[in-house]
């Protein structure tokens, strides 16, 4: 049994992760602004903290998992919103580093969030963990986030940086937003449809986190994506087919730029990312292909 502190534990990915860890009888503390809601969500099985000042130097955590971060595409990227995005990622990470530094017994491992947006719009070029990093806002945000998290390594805490792709599950994320229009036959290709989409089924994502958590040789950046990325055109067609529909519409690039401004780069750009580090270290994906991943999501228990 491990004692684990988790930020972002009530979010789309976080609450699934917490439930998985609870099933393994780990002792979970969740940092949250809504402790009563957290207690209700997890049936009183977690310890909710509203502030990291609760982490006294005498308290020992075996691991820290940092998934906190305000949604990046939901609101316009005004100067104020960009600051919120930074504070919700980099600010909380800085606080965690300070708490780990002050702890008498430091955690053995730190898993900290990031995203494949760190590579920028790379077209059809293959991205591995050693690929060059971009300089647009989303990439810089991830880069600064990772640099802050990496400070934990200097104090002896094994650190894994979670470069997360599109996590697929019917309960949340991009897929939940897409399911209704696609099920009504209103699904559409975005722009040219040539942009690459690097995705991962939620179950494989959670297994990957568990693997990183429990494998002492794992350290540094990890692409958390399935081995077979697809174009937006292929993703659109495969999703529509999985729902017994056709996707004949196209959302023009100009319309997305008009509606989303700078944020449109998240939909019109893409990355062809492969999880080279996970594969080289022996991790096995259960759902490596999009068609079988979407098919699995139609099963009630998944």
Ranges of each domain in the chain: 3-168+199-227+272-286
| Residue 301 pLDDT greater than 70, yes or no | no
Residue 300 is predicted with a pLDDT of 53
**Bigger pLDDT: 222 vs 247:** 222
Work out the number of other CB atoms within 10 angstroms of the CB of residue 53. Answer: 9
Binned at pLDDT 50, 70 and 90, residue 160 comes out as: very high
Find the range with the poorest average confidence among 29-43, 97-111, 204-218. Answer: 29-43
Q: Name the DSSP class of 227.
A: S
Q: Which fold has domain 3-168+199-227+272-286?
A: Rossmann fold (3.40.50)
Query: Residue 291: its pLDDT value, please?
Result: 95
Residue 185 has what pLDDT?
78
Q: How many residues belong to the chain?
A: 302
Are 243 and 95 contacting, i.e. CB atoms less than 8 angstroms apart? no
Q: What local confidence, expressed as pLDDT, does residue 16 receive? A: 97
pLDDT tens digits, one per residue of 246-277? 887 889 899 989 899 999 999 999 999 999 99
pLDDT of residue 134: 96
Q: How far is it, in rounded angstroms, from Cα 142 to Cα 118?
A: 6
Band (178; pLDDT cuts 50, 70, 90): confident
Contacts by residues 35-41 (CB-CB < 8 Å, ≥ 24 positions apart): 37/10, 38/9, 38/10, 41/10, 41/15
Mean pLDDT of 80-97: 97
Q: What are the two backbone dihedrals, phi and then psi, of residue 46, each rounded to the nearest 5 degrees?
A: -120, 165
User: What is the band of 48 on the pLDDT scale with cuts at 50, 70, 90?
Assistant: very high
Q: Are strands 158-164 and 188-190 parallel, antiparallel or unpaired?
A: unpaired
Distance (Å, whole) CA 103 – CA 55: 8
Residue-level pLDDT at 297: 86
């Amino acid at each position: 049994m491990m004692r684990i502190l988790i930020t972002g534990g009530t979010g789309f990915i976080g609450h699934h992760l917490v439930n998985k860890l609870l099933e393994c009888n780990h002792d979970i503390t969740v940092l949250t602004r809504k402790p009563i809601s957290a207690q209700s969500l997890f049936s009183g099985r977690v310890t909710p903290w509203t502030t990291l000042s609760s982490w006294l130097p005498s308290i020992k955590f075996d691991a820290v998992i940092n998934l906190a971060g305000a949604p990046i595409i939901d609101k316009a990227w005004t100067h104020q919103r960009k600051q919120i995005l930074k504070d919700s990622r980099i600010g909380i990470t800085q606080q965690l580093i300070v708490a780990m530094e002050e702890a008498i017994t430091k955690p053995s491992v730190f898993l900290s969030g990031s995203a494949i947006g760190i590579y920028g719009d790379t077209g059809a070029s293959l991205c591995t963990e050693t690929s060059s990093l971009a300089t647009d806002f989303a990439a810089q945000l991830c880069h600064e986030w990772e640099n802050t998290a990496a400070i934990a390594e200097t104090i002896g805490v094994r650190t894994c940086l979670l470069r997360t792709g599109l996590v697929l599950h019917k309960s949340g994320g991009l897929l939940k937003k897409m399911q209704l229009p696609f099920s009504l036959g209103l699904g559409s290709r975005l722009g040219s449809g040539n942009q690459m989409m690097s995705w991962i089924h939620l179950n494989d994502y959670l297994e990957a986190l568990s693997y990183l958590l429990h494998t002492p040789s794992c350290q540094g950046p990890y692409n958390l994506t399935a081995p077979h990325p697809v174009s937006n055109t292929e993703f659109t067609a495969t999703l529509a087919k999985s729902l017994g529909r056709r996707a004949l519409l196209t959302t023009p690039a100009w319309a997305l730029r008009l509606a989303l401004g700078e944020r449109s780069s998240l939909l019109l750009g893409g990355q062809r990312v492969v999880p080279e580090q996970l594969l080289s270290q022996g991790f096995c994906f259960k759902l490596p292909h999009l068609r079988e991943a979407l098919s699995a999501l139609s099963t009630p228990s998944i």
